[in-house]
């Protein structure tokens, strides 16, 4: 089933000049970029993104971190994209992330941990709407899709 999901290449990844390498991993896997932008996050956007954590003691730290420097918001599309992206990202705690995952290969601490990925279809829809206007998401065919996803794509 083709899905869309959100990935945020967080400020630490941008500062460490890893954004391109991280995004390339998703493209190399066969996922399609349907939205991409560099964002300097303000407090309002940060609070909307982290609304589910508003009452938690770490909320202010999350907001401070995500507003500290630009990030790259990426909308990806592909079969089972949500589950695939989450597997590629790795465990939230980098020390528990498997080698070969983004966090397992590139992160050391939980915050900062380089990347955010939507955790389910409802979350993906909500988060995509926070980060992208409908006109910023582009539908298109790629010539490689039949080679990546099979002849039925």
Q: What is residue 108's DSSP assignment? A: -
Count of domains observed in the chain: 1
Confirm whether 49 is a catalytic residue. no
**3-state secondary structure (DSSP) of residue 135:** helix
Q: Compute CA 16 distance to the chain's CA centroid, rounded to the nearest angstrom.
A: 16
pTM higher than 0.85, yes or no? Answer: yes
How many whole angstroms separate alpha carbon 77 and alpha carbon 108? 28
What CATH number is attached to the domain comprising 33? Answer: 3.30.70.141
How many whole angstroms separate alpha carbon 142 and alpha carbon 74? 18
pLDDT tens digits, residue range 112-137? 899 999 999 999 999 999 999 999 99
Considering the candidates 49, 53, 116, 135, report the single residue annotated as catalytic: 116
Q: Which domain holds residue 82?
A: 2-149
Confidence grade of residue 147 (pLDDT, cut at 50, 70, 90): confident
């Amino acid at each position: 089933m083709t899905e869309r999901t959100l990935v945020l290449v967080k400020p630490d990844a941008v500062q460490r000049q890893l954004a391109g390498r991280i995004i390339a991993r998703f493209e190399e896997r066969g996922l399609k970029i349907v939205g991409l932008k560099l964002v300097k996050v303000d407090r309002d956007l940060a609070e909307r993104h982290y609304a589910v954590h508003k009452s938690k003691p770490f909320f202010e730290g999350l907001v401070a971190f995500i507003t500290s420097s630009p990030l790259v918001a990426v909308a990806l599309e592909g079969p089972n994209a949500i589950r695939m992206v989450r597997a590629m990202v790795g465990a939230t705690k980098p020390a528990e992330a498997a080698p070969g995952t983004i966090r397992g290969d590139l992160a050391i601490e939980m915050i900062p941990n380089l990347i955010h990925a939507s955790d389910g279809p409802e979350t993906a829809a909500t988060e995509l709407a926070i980060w992208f206007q409908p006109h910023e998401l582009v539908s298109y065919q790629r010539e490689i899709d039949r080679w990546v996803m099979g002849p039925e794509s």
